[in-house]
Amino acid sequence: MKFKILLIGSLILLFTLNLSYSQIVVDTKAKVANVDFNLIDNELVITYDLLNTKPNEKFQIIIKISKEDGKQIDAKTLKGDVGENISGGIGKKIIWSVSSDIAYLDDQINVEVLANHQNPKIINPTSKGKAILLSTIYPGLGSAKITLKNVHLIKGVLAYGSVAGSFYFKNKSQKTFSEYQESSSTADRDKLYDQSIKEDKNSTILMYTAGAIWLIDYVTILISENRSQQKGLKSQVVYLGPSFDPRHNYKGMSLVINF
């Protein structure tokens, strides 16, 4: 019976691991910076900036307060820009009512501000074969999928713009050639003929340009690193955070690591 339970547990773990690679979490570029605090009338006022965020990103802000020996202080009476669904910005403020949680504060304390991304962007990995198919439909779409850089999408605009321009000059060339055939003036005929040839060349150049854009995008897909198949990792932000010694009313700096 124990063996069956162990086997089922192993299968569940294997299935979970496979699922973890079926979707990729694209990590945020946000970071916590400029953390500071002051003790005012038995309240600890903590300020910080949450930088490099996007308008729709939300974060869970967690405050960790520890003594000099590393022992954590259970700070429950926190209010302000703390908890869930916190947007990015500067001048964020958190107030901790010290006397509500501890009798007195007589040790040096360190403050950590941790920001967990609540709504990260999730993408599905794209194989290079699928990327080539996507770029056949719209140049740049496949390379954008595997490199995670939307700048490649401009290739589609250029390619289809070139195709449209090629058809435009082709139709114009045929119309000009018809006018050449119907014209009875030798001077007009020569002018219309040269114009028709020029328009036909423009059509050919634009069509070759479109083909070159498609080809360049295929090559880009084949030689580029497929970032869409890399598992996303959480970024680590290291900065100098403040510390405070209430016995000597001294504020210093301590190394803080945030995830």
List, for residues 91-108, the tens digit of each pLDDT value: 999 999 988 888 776 677
Amino acid identity for residue 20 in this structure: S
| Whole-angstrom distance, CA of residue 205 vs CA of residue 219 | 21
Same domain, residue pair 199 and 143: yes
Same domain, residue pair 61 and 102: yes
The reported pLDDT for the residue numbered 8 is 33
Mean pLDDT, rounded, for 169-177? 94
Same domain, residue pair 37 and 115: yes
225 to each of 146, 149, 168, 259, how far by Cα in Å? 7, 12, 38, 26
pLDDT at 201 over 80: yes
Q: Is residue 180 part of a domain?
A: yes
Same domain, residue pair 119 and 157: no
Query: For the chain, what is the mean pLDDT?
Result: 78
Same domain, residue pair 237 and 192: no
Pairing of strands 250-258, 43-51: unpaired
Q: Is residue 12 part of a domain?
A: no
CATH number at residue 74: 2.60.40
Same domain, residue pair 106 and 55: yes
Same domain, residue pair 218 and 145: yes
Same domain, residue pair 132 and 221: yes
> Number of structural domains, the chain?
2
| Whole-angstrom distance, CA of residue 231 vs CA of residue 125 | 9
Q: Is residue 86 part of a domain?
A: yes
Same domain, residue pair 81 and 199: no
Same domain, residue pair 181 and 161: yes
Same domain, residue pair 108 and 177: no
Rounded to two decimals, what is the model's pTM?
0.50
pLDDT at 237 over 90: no
The reported pLDDT for the residue numbered 197 is 93
- pLDDT tens for 141-153 read 999 999 889 999 9
Q: Is residue 61 part of a domain?
A: yes
Q: Which residues pair with 110 in a beta bridge?
A: 66, 243
Q: Which domain holds residue 194?
A: 128-225
The reported pLDDT for the residue numbered 36 is 86
Same domain, residue pair 169 and 45: no
